[in-house]
Amino acid sequence: MEIPKPLKSDFEPEITKAFNMAAQSVEQSPTPRNWARLAAIYHAHQELNAAIAAYQQAVYLGDAHSRTAHLLAMALDEVGDRDEAIASMERAAALKPYSQPSQWRLAQWKFEAGEDAEAEQIFLDAYNNNSEDKLTLQATAKYLIDSGQPKKAIGPLVKLIKISPTNRYARFLLGTAMQRSGTQADDAKSFLEVGRHAKPSWTDVHMQALSQLTTGPRADFLRLVQRSNSGKARESIAALESLEPRLGDDPGYHIEVCKCLRQIGSYAKAHAAIEKALAIEPGNFRATYQQAGLIRDDWISMGKPEGHALLEKALEKSDHTIGLNPTNAPSHALRAQVLEDMGRFEESYQSWMEADRLDRADQRFSYQGARTILQSGDRDRGIELLGIYCDRFPLHHAARKQLGLEQWKGGDSINAQRNLSMASQGLPGDPEIRQAIDAMSRQ
């Protein structure tokens, strides 16, 4: 078979080199393994037709690895050939090594094709084989909800949330399951609120492995940004800066460099980076957002001096950012922070609430709004707002603890003790809660 070629030709040199090296390996030794490697490299760079042809040749020559069949199925599905994709995924589910993602992915596709009984059996087998796998739990629970069995989904979702506490989509599914099964209405409302706008991730281990085959400056850049955002900014900055000759015409590159520099406190270089982004695209709201935050960083690094010259400038930039993109919640939150720094508490509160209204990432800006009112000295109103927040997010135990402590300071021992007791269920052994409850019991 002739080696398939990518449709495009304008790849980065590193990508072209990876293609050529993989193709050369096939020419020198056309084994199933080399064909599968070539296919995966094409697939990683979205050359799907070439990838499919190479995967199929690997299978024709005897490739019997579950990953090859799984990736071929995914590529076929991406080009819209669901029937052939299902056939390949069935093969992946039957091959060794055992592929957990192939089981639940096949079950999803069977259900979408109307083969309900077969889908349910595959989901059940996958769940019984590994009931601790996060994506299996998520896929099974979603199937149970979509197939009209929401009550059965509650158990797997409770387990998933225990394994993955930050999974907001799992909370959304749990709220949906509770609501549709008519159980625990208050809890259902809370879970739906927490999971509002959450998007699921279905990236399995095979697709994760595929992403590691991407190459070129853009792929390196994305990996470095992910590394920086995971808390390793200092270890990432030199490599990020080295990519400027290749990516320096992209304002997004300079914005990410600025963010990395801000994390390590290198503010002068961060200013230079964001100026480069704005020189390329003056109306880029993500750049002006970073610029406004950077000016506030300068004020903080100077010891928060009295007088608001820097803060006025930061406020001006945040207002400009909102003008460029009025629906961006973090821009309103930044404006709220600056106004709070300036002592303009009511305006800050209004900005926090606008950020909360626009929020799509569960950042809970209304909590910050309540704290701003408390900081202003209006304890009664702050307590009222915290109470509203805790009704909305009853599982945010730190907020309920703060509500209880503020009620205690305000002389409302009955409600304080009730809220602190509720908070202690999620914060067992918390010394502040224990001391406050002990003090109230002695009164």
Alpha carbons 264 and 257: distance in angstroms, whole number: 11
Q: How many CB atoms lie within 10 A of CB 100?
A: 18
Count: domains in the chain: 1
| Local confidence band at 183 (pLDDT 50, 70, 90 cut-offs) | confident
Alpha carbons 411 and 419: distance in angstroms, whole number: 14
Residue 282: is it exposed, middle or buried by C-beta count within 10 angstroms (0-12/13-18/19+)? exposed
Q: Is the pTM of this model over 0.95?
A: no
Residue 392 domain-assigned? yes
Q: What is the pLDDT of residues 266-317, one digit of tens each?
A: 999 999 999 999 999 999 999 999 999 999 999 999 999 988 899 999 999 9
Residue 400 domain-assigned? yes
Q: What is the pLDDT of residues 281-291, one digit of tens each?
A: 999 999 999 99
Instruction: For residue 65, list its beta bridge partners.
Output: 96
Q: What is the pLDDT of residues 348-382, one digit of tens each?
A: 999 999 999 999 988 999 999 999 999 999 999 99
Work out the angle at residue 252's Cα, subtended by the Cα atoms of residues 167 and 51, and round it to the nearest 5 degrees. Answer: 70
Instruction: For residue 96, list its beta bridge partners.
Output: 65
Residue 387 domain-assigned? yes
Look at the block and give the residue holding tokens 């109230």: 440
Residue 414 domain-assigned? yes
Alpha carbons 331 and 288: distance in angstroms, whole number: 10
| Local confidence band at 5 (pLDDT 50, 70, 90 cut-offs) | very high
Name the CA radius of gyration of the chain, rounded.
27
| Local confidence band at 186 (pLDDT 50, 70, 90 cut-offs) | confident
Residue 100 domain-assigned? no
CA dihedral sign, ordered 424, 429, 430, 432: positive
Residue 11: is it exposed, middle or buried by C-beta count within 10 angstroms (0-12/13-18/19+)? middle
Q: Which helix (H) or strand (E) holds 115?
A: none
Percent of the chain with pLDDT over 70: 100
Q: Which structure tokens are listed for 49?
A: 């037709």
- For the ranges 35-39, 77-81, 182-186, 292-296, the lowest mean pLDDT is seen at 182-186
Residue 225 domain-assigned? no
Alpha carbons 431 and 219: distance in angstroms, whole number: 47
Q: Which structure tokens are listed for 297?
A: 């960083």
Residue 443 domain-assigned? yes
pLDDT of residue 119: 98
Q: What is the pLDDT of residues 229-264, one digit of tens each?
A: 999 999 999 999 999 999 999 999 999 999 999 999
Mean pLDDT over 47-61 rounds to 98
Mean pLDDT over 409-417 rounds to 96
Range of the domain at 392: 378-443
Residue 388 domain-assigned? yes
pLDDT averaged over the chain?
A: 96
